[in-house]
Amino acid sequence: MNDASKEEARLLSGVELELVAVTRPSEIERQSVDEKAAARRLREAHDRARGIGTRQAREMCGKAEPRGAKPAKDNSGTVAKAQALRDALDRVEAELSRREAAPIPKALLADS
């Protein structure tokens, strides 16, 4: 397990970790699942983490009331989580673009 994988395992929940693991270059090429659904789930998780990070930053500056029992003192973990999810989302979008740009085999064109 490399350092990036260890960091992601520390930052992400189980479901998020499964989503990110599927986006690894060795895995994403073998996937036949709907990448658009994976992209949607990753985008939702990223947006949620980014929103929480923004709220925590506002709490630290004193611009917002704390949402929990104690005000946030650090949001670096949440920011790193949002970045890990963004990186995974970028990999999925790149794979989708690659597949859409791939030429259609002539054997498939002859069948239609």
pTM score of the predicted model: 0.81
pLDDT in tens, 8-33: 889 999 999 998 888 888 777 777 65
Residue 17 to residues 23, 32, 86, 101, 105: CA-CA distances in angstroms? 10, 19, 13, 28, 34
Instruction: Give the pLDDT band (50/70/90) at residue 79.
Output: very high
pLDDT value of residue 44:
96
pLDDT value of residue 69:
82
Q: How far apart are CA 21 and CA 47, in angstroms?
A: 19
Domain locations along the chain: 3-111
Token duo for residue 56: 């925590």
Burial 47-80 (b: 16+ CB within 10 A, else e): eebbebbebbbbbeeeeeeeeeeeebeebeebbb
Rounded average pLDDT over 93-105: 81
**DSSP H helical ranges for 23-75:** 25-28, 35-61
Sequence-distant contacts of 3-6: CB under 8 A, at least 24 apart: none
Instruction: Give the pLDDT band (50/70/90) at residue 78.
Output: very high
Q: SS3 of 34, please?
A: coil
pLDDT in tens, 23-68: 888 777 777 657 778 889 999 999 999 999 999 999 999 898 888 8
pLDDT of 75 over the 80 cut? yes
